[in-house]
Structure 1
């Protein structure tokens, strides 16, 4: 399944939010409120199939039913970013959240007075070497590939460079 950034979607784009169809704008409001939902796009192919099914039902004089087919063209909507702060990679919606999470982890005395952490946004397409789950070494892949099953639940440390 492909990923797409919430900010990259066109206004009015439909999104699946726990089985409810909402617009991009509503999804932005939900994220801004602090909720951390799992979101997927609703593809034009899926919408067309649902409308065709509804049309067929009406023509046949049948009661409209729930359309429960899988959307094979859906994309996972990403609204959080990967921030690199020093050697840490942190998932957060905003840079401020990432910095606060980092400072909480390293402690208030980590930086000299007036010193600020260096923050960079890491694109999902950036390659890295990630330790294998079985401890047998490292695999090279993109952050997007590595985070394919990641469920965002608030600012959190993803990984770090050694």
Structure 2
């Protein structure tokens, strides 16, 4: 048994002269990594919603430990996610503003199926929606690539889902003292 464990360990370690695989999360903010991990599973998203609505700091810390191996603060996470576009490019800010307006309208119109397809990144749905949505018709930059790069890949779908499920976002990064 000890020999098998040793062999498995050797398989995980890069051989001499062989460089380790690059870390796909290198250069990402811890909250981005957390969002990426949560977005992989609908049950994790549902659990995160529950934890945040109950303001269960202990459960949030456990979830952040499991996903990022870090102790993330739920209030700081929500503040960061709420202000995500403040840290982005001009294109990202414009895209977030436009798409959030589109999605808010769809949510209010109870167009859940269309909203779900768009939030999941369905290209055909976006291309059709782009020609019909008044918010997008006059925006030449509003291609699928623009949407994917500046919205889908930047944690905005998770933010929108949290808001639709009643998660409250703080106005300030820390508790008022």
More strand by share: 1
Please state which band the TM-score falls in when normalised by the shorter chain.
under 0.3
TM-score (norm 2): 0.23
TM-score (norm 1): 0.25
Structure with the bigger RCO (C-alpha within 8 Å, sep 6+) is: 2
